[in-house]
Structure 1
């Protein structure tokens, strides 16, 4: 983890991006709960919320994930850094697993291919925001900058 940029100047932009993803997921989840309320938890019906197929279970998980991402984006320390890295990995793994069971009865979250694509994009964005959102003392940031600008580093690019 020594090579994560520390105190990156675009850190506020990455936090806003992470927060917007969290807000979208939260709104999707709340709307999905409203639309699927009364359906079975793992329904496989063709119910859509904000353009993505959903069921009550997926909507409830989305509400929780949206809240978690928004909390992470609002924190000034490294909590958001670790939450974004973890959420990005979870989104990517979930998308790949759900894509592998898309046309089977194991598709318990009622994913469609568009949901898989959105999950992959969100996962990649969250990983990127997590990579550049690390906070540290100014000495660590200066050491990281010196390491990047070292003459030996120039020859290895």
Structure 2
């Protein structure tokens, strides 16, 4: 079982980072919806929002994802922790999958290489924030620190 740091002192910074990513994604999505309104849902035209290629489907998904990330960043419990871990994995997987279909008709979200790179970067940042923003009781945090800083019990030096 993985041992995530509990009550990490930089947790507010990590939550702020995930909130800023969520805000960027929300603004990108809203701007993208405005730019692509009236086009087909999966149109592959030259539509850009905040420097990244988009279509109506990608813009709508971005609005939803931006709202979800901002909600996760605003919660004090572990909801944000799990949302960031999940969102980080989704962004990494989406970036890799969309990179593999960039030059094909399967590029239904109208990604470009710059969109792939931003997706991978956001995925790594969200995954990192998810690793360090777990909340728990002080007893739980102390137990995690003790487990992390001490050798495994029961190992003899004979």
Note whether the superposition's TM-score is higher than 0.5: yes
Question: How far apart are the structure 2 equivalents of 1:97 and 1:148?
Answer: 35
1:128 matched to which residue of 2? 128
Question: How far apart are the structure 2 equivalents of 1:110 and 1:68?
Answer: 22
Q: 1:147: Cα distance to partner? A: 1.6
Question: Alpha-carbon deviations, 1:10-30, whole Å to 9, x = none?
Answer: 000000000000000000000
TM alignment of 1:99-138, pairs within 5 A: 99-138=99-138
Q: 1:58: Cα distance to partner? A: 0.2
**Runs of 4+ with deviation above 2 angstroms:** none
RMSD, aligned α-carbons: 1.2
Q: CA 1:46–1:133 in structure 2 vs 1: closer, same or farther (change >3 Å)? A: same
Q: 1:110: Cα distance to partner? A: 0.1
> Could you tell me the TM-score, scaled by structure 1's length?
0.95
> Could you tell me the TM-score, scaled by structure 2's length?
0.94
- Uncovered stretches (5+) of structure 2, i.e. residues with no partner: 154-158
* Aligned positions, number: 153
Question: Alpha-carbon deviations, 1:50-75, whole Å to 9, x = none?
Answer: 00000000000000000000000000
Question: How far apart are the structure 2 equivalents of 1:9 and 1:152?
Answer: 25
2:10 matched to which residue of 1? 10
